[in-house]
């Protein structure tokens, strides 16, 4: 109640009785002493009431001010007179209420601070989930979706390319992938601590495209609150597994063929089917050729594996490109002469500066030249060119051989792949071009392309950055420095 509201009943209690007393005494004074006496009596009574009211109101205001200031409450007792015991009790009640109010205010402040902190933590938690590139879904204990980050929305709604802000996902959308819904239900029905992993595909894709890991969410008391669903795109992993399986299958096939031949020829020798020295020498020659085939296969596999795994340290130095190409020509020259194939070097007169591992780059060029010689008929020609094209050094290996069908080009640089129509022309492991591509693209930041026409020939083109290390573009030079350290 306000001071103005309290003031009204106090003035009414003092002024009204005094005014009534004055009205009662005024007629008596007027009868005894005249009208002037009656007016005087009424005025005195009214003034006394007003003065008394003013004094009481003054005391009330001082007491109210002292009650609001605990350090002044002791002075009230000396002024209260007969009301001292009652006022003391009132002061005790006031102090107790103040203490309760202070405790309540502190509790309210702590609760507000805790709520604010929890809200910040929740916003941080939700923001972290929404910023995750992998789809994440949170459900309650009944399996209803509580939150889904934008990545999950884009997974279930591929048409949404922009970042979603709401983080909502309906149960009907989630039900489009039954394995995930079933995994959530199994986790909710299982004992606490059990998780579930399922693999599935979306958009009608063939094979497995995603993996979902469903984990239970519990509170501090171990009560189940819901589940978290983390979905990973495993298409790359699935493709890697497929490539690994194909690699193992190809290795087994490549090893099995020469080993079967060796075994067959050995049995012929052991059974005495070769009656003459010439026949035995021919069988031994066949066995030797198959051993060579196995040796090439194993060496190529080891070289490729060592380079890719980093066992073979890449030593890149500033060098001149023609200094790398000339020894490669000499290495292959005797193979060309055996088949009566003209090996024609057409090297540039310019200084072609490159930053390369000379041994590895030379091996790549030797592989291309060897393939060109193997698949070129006798009397043909193989050309090795070097030239400068803008800011790139170009190496070309051109032959007049069998050529490559267009349908074989997409797989030409795969490990163990060989062009079917050319298999009978020469022996091979199918690893040479894969090794060339890795050396050029992965180790030298270059590129390799092929132009071919069946029964006319092929041209393999290698493009490398021009310049020594200190002349290369900044990003390229930094990458080369990292690779060589």
pLDDT tens for the chain, 485 residues long, are 445 544 455 555 556 666 667 667 667 666 776 677 767 766 777 777 777 777 667 766 766 666 666 655 555 555 555 556 666 677 777 778 878 888 999 999 999 999 999 889 888 888 888 888 888 988 888 888 888 888 887 777 765 544 444 456 777 777 778 888 888 888 888 766 688 888 888 766 666 788 899 999 888 888 888 899 998 888 888 777 777 776 777 677 667 777 888 888 888 888 877 778 888 888 888 888 778 778 877 777 777 777 767 666 788 899 999 999 999 999 888 889 988 999 999 999 999 999 999 988 998 999 899 889 988 999 999 999 999 999 999 999 999 988 999 898 988 888 777 787 766 666 666 778 888 998 999 889 999 999 999 888 999 999 999 987 766 554 454 444 334 33
CATH number at residue 346: 3.30.565.10
Q: Which of 286, 309, 332 is the last residue of a domain?
A: 309
Asked if residue 195 is part of any domain, the answer here is yes
Tell me, yes or no, whether 146 and 262 share the same domain.
no
pTM assigned to the model: 0.48
| Exposure letters 53-67 (e unless 16+ CB within 10 A, then b) | beeebeeeeebeebe
Cα dihedral sign, 155-160-162-168: negative
Check if the beta carbon of residue 400 is closer than 8 Å to that of residue 336.
no
Tell me, yes or no, whether 152 and 216 share the same domain.
yes
Which conformational region is residue 59 in: left (phi greater than 0), alpha (psi within -120 to 50 degrees), or beta?
Answer: alpha
Tell me, yes or no, whether 23 and 165 share the same domain.
no
Q: Which of 187, 207, 233 is the last residue of a domain?
A: 233
Single out the residue of 370, 354, 337, 355 nearest to residue 436, CA to CA: 370
Tell me, yes or no, whether 305 and 341 share the same domain.
no
Q: Which of 233, 258, 288 is the last residue of a domain?
A: 233
Check if the beta carbon of residue 326 is closer than 8 Å to that of residue 369.
no
Alpha-helical (H) ranges within 224-318 are 235-270, 277-309
Please tell me the predicted confidence (pLDDT) of residue 146: 86
Asked if residue 190 is part of any domain, the answer here is yes
CATH number at residue 276: 1.10.287.130
CATH number at residue 166: 3.30.450.20
Asked if residue 158 is part of any domain, the answer here is yes
d(CA 369, CA 357): 18
Asked if residue 455 is part of any domain, the answer here is yes
Give the C-alpha distances (Å, rounded to integers) separating 228 from 134, 169, 197, 236, 264.
13, 14, 12, 24, 60
Tell me, yes or no, whether 167 and 258 share the same domain.
no
Asked if residue 379 is part of any domain, the answer here is yes
Tell me, yes or no, whether 301 and 346 share the same domain.
no
Task: Name the domain count of the chain.
Answer: 4
Tell me, yes or no, whether 363 and 468 share the same domain.
yes
Asked if residue 184 is part of any domain, the answer here is yes
d(CA 50, CA 14): 8
d(CA 147, CA 139): 7
Single out the residue of 423, 425, 385 nearest to residue 401, CA to CA: 425
Tell me, yes or no, whether 181 and 249 share the same domain.
no
d(CA 73, CA 98): 14
d(CA 329, CA 327): 5
Q: How many CB atoms lie within 10 A of CB 100?
A: 10
Based on its alpha-carbon atoms, the radius of gyration of the chain, rounded to whole angstroms, reads 50
Please tell me the predicted confidence (pLDDT) of residue 129: 84
Tell me, yes or no, whether 461 and 326 share the same domain.
yes
Please tell me the predicted confidence (pLDDT) of residue 477: 43
Tell me, yes or no, whether 300 and 424 share the same domain.
no
Asked if residue 470 is part of any domain, the answer here is yes
Asked if residue 100 is part of any domain, the answer here is no
DSSP state of 83: G
Check if the beta carbon of residue 170 is closer than 8 Å to that of residue 200.
no
Tell me, yes or no, whether 250 and 328 share the same domain.
no
Give the domain range for residue 29: 3-68
Tell me, yes or no, whether 214 and 261 share the same domain.
no
Q: How many CB atoms lie within 10 A of CB 224?
A: 16
End-to-end CA distance of the chain: 84
């Amino acid at each position: 109640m306000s001071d103005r509201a309290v003031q009204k009943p106090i003035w009414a209690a003092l002024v009204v009785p005094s005014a009534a007393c004055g009205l009662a005494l005024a007629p008596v004074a007027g009868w005894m002493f005249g009208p002037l006496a009656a007016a005087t009596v009424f005025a005195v009574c009214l003034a006394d009431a007003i003065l008394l009211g003013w004094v009481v109101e003054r005391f009330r205001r001082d007491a109210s001010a002292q009650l609001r200031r605990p350090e002044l409450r002791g002075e009230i007792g000396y002024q209260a007179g007969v009301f001292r015991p009652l006022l003391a009790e009132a002061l005790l009640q006031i102090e107790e209420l103040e203490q309760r109010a202070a405790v309540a205010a502190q509790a309210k402040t702590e609760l507000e601070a805790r709520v604010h902190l929890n809200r910040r933590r929740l916003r941080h938690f939700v923001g972290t989930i929404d910023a995750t590139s992998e789809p994440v879904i949170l459900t309650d204990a009944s399996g209803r979706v509580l939150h889904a980050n934008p990545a999950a929305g884009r997974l279930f709604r591929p048409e949404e390319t922009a970042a979603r802000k709401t983080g909502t996902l309906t149960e009907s959308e989630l039900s489009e992938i039954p394995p995930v819904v079933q995994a959530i239900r199994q986790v909710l029905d299982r004992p606490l601590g059990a998780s579930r992993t399922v693999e599935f595909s979306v958009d009608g894709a063939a094979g497995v495209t995603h993996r979902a890991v469903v984990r239970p969410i519990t509170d501090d008391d171990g009560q189940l609150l819901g589940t978290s669903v983390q979905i990973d795109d495993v298409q790359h992993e699935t493709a890697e597994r497929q490539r690994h399986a194909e690699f193992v299958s190809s290795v087994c096939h490549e090893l099995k063929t020469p080993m079967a031949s060796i075994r067959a020829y050995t049995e012929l020798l052991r059974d005495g089917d070769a009656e003459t020295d010439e026949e035995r020498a021919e069988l031994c020659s066949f066995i030797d050729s198959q051993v060579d085939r196995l040796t090439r296969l194993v060496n190529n596999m080891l070289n490729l594996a060592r380079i890719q795994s980093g066992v073979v340290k890449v030593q890149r130095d500033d060098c001149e490109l023609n200094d790398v190409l000339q020894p490669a020509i000499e290495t292959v020259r005797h193979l060309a002469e055996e088949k009566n194939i003209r090996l024609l070097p057409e090297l540039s007169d310019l200084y072609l500066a490159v930053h390369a591992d000379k041994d590895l780059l030379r091996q790549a060029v030797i592989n291309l030249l060897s393939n060109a010689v193997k698949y070129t008929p006798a009397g043909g020609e193989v050309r090795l060119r070097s030239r400068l094209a803008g800011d790139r050094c170009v190496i070309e290996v051109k032959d007049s051989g069998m050529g490559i069908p267009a349908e074989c080009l997409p797989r030409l640089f795969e490990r163990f792949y060989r062009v079917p129509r050319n298999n009978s022309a020469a022996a091979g492991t199918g690893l040479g071009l894969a090794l060339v591509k890795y050396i050029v693209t992965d180790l030298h930041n270059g590129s390799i392309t092929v132009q071919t026409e069946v029964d006319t020939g092929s041209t393999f083109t290698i493009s490398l950055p021009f310049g020594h290390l200190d002349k290369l573009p900044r990003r390229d030079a930094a990458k080369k420095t990292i690779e060589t350290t």
